[in-house]
Amino acid sequence: MSAGSTGGLSVALCRDPRQFAGLQEPWNRLVRGCPTATPFQSHAWLHSWWLSYGREGRLRILLVRRGGELVGAAPLMLVHRPLPLLVPLGGPITDHFDVLVAAEHADLVVPALARGLYRAARGAVVDLREVRPGAAAEGLGKHWAGVGSTLTDSTCMELPALPFDELVKRMPSSGAQRVRAKLRKTDAAGIEEHEVTEDEVPRAVRSLLRLHEKQWRGRGVNPEHLRPRFAEHLTRAARRMVRTGEGRMTEFRLGGKVVAANVTLLSAGLSGGYLYGADPDLRALKVDVGTLLLRHEAERALADGRPVVSFLRGSEPYKNHWRPETVVNQRFLLATTALAPLLRLHESQVTGRERVVDALRESLPAARDWRARLNDLRVR
């Protein structure tokens, strides 16, 4: 469906899942040409998510082309509850949203995306969640012809990619001493690292999710991580991302047995630890899994030339030990002028739910993973 053309650019609205599936190569080229893209904008992640979570008739992807070249994209879908909204593909299991903009054409592509989105949103409020500071999506508001509002969203924690010993030195001296002592015990245990190949991904994902469930049993595991659709999505996406270098799976083995595993999602700008699982029995061996994983990720990010090691969403206390930078995602609400009352209604509903979540968080200080427990309340 055509949405218009301007300045030598054509803007179209893709509603056909088969067309989306066929965009893999031009989409990946666009990702490589968009410096703000995170791993969650990859075709592998988004198309896999759509196959597991998408609803028929809801796909809404804005595509901007210059000649035959794809130079911009906004991956969205239509939902009807609690009111008509255009929301990002990827849903609540996706940590960052952004539009894709080819850097060399950004001055033209961002306004074109804003105009195309305005036409696509005549009957719905646009609700863009989890927009990382500095994202290309920030530019949409500057060219938006209607009304808008900006809210804060999830908190993320990030570290610079430094030699691990330099990261340890950032800690208070007493904490640094404890970390070094833990690593000596971990290394003495004889744990070996194994990088998972594409063909090994299905087995490795099953093992990871089994360890993840065991690790969080009785402590508020995110229920979505235990559902078949999540396993299907993660397996499908991880296979493609391992193949293209957009992701990595690592297993940690002791005596030939997998005792921990993690999935890392990769872009030019960051290395993000997405999900891990660990056998609770490692505690008896004095193995600090968090420190083991962070050392591995920091060393790999540094070797690969990625500037940031991200813990992704969540401000759990164990992350703060490393003195990370706090990065707060943004949430952009946009609507046509005619739908301004609907935007304000949605904004009041969102902020009201956030206040309830904050109150519950304060009343549950002992909850180790309150964000997972309250996830559904946040995203509905």
pTM value is: 0.90
Average pLDDT over residues 173-187: 90
In the chain, the DSSP E strands lie at: 2-6, 9-14, 59-66, 69-79, 85-88, 100-101, 125-131, 147-160, 192-195, 247-254, 257-266, 271-278, 308-313, 325-335
Is the pLDDT reported for residue 207 higher than 80?
yes
State the average pLDDT over residues 323-335.
Answer: 97
**Stretch 324-340: mean pLDDT, rounded?**
97
Average pLDDT over residues 312-340: 93
Confidence of residue 174 (pLDDT cuts 50, 70, 90): confident
Give the pLDDT band of residue 365 (cuts 50, 70, 90).
Answer: very low
Residue 320 has pLDDT above 70, yes or no: yes
Contact in structure between 13 and 62 (CB atoms under 8 Å): yes
Mean pLDDT of 39-60: 98
- Give the residue from 191, 216, 176, 215 showing the smallest Cα distance to 287: 191
Question: Is it the case that residue 56 has pLDDT exceeding 50?
Answer: yes
pLDDT over 90 at 82, yes or no: no
Flag whether pLDDT at 375 surpasses 60: no
Q: What is the pLDDT of residues 270-305, one digit of tens each?
A: 999 999 999 999 988 889 999 999 999 999 999 999
Q: Is 373's pLDDT higher than 80?
A: no
Q: How far apart are CA 276 and CA 283, in angstroms?
A: 16
| Average pLDDT of the chain, as a whole number | 91
Averaged pLDDT for residues 115-125:
95
Using an 8 Å Cβ cutoff, are 14 and 63 in contact? yes
Confidence of residue 6 (pLDDT cuts 50, 70, 90): low
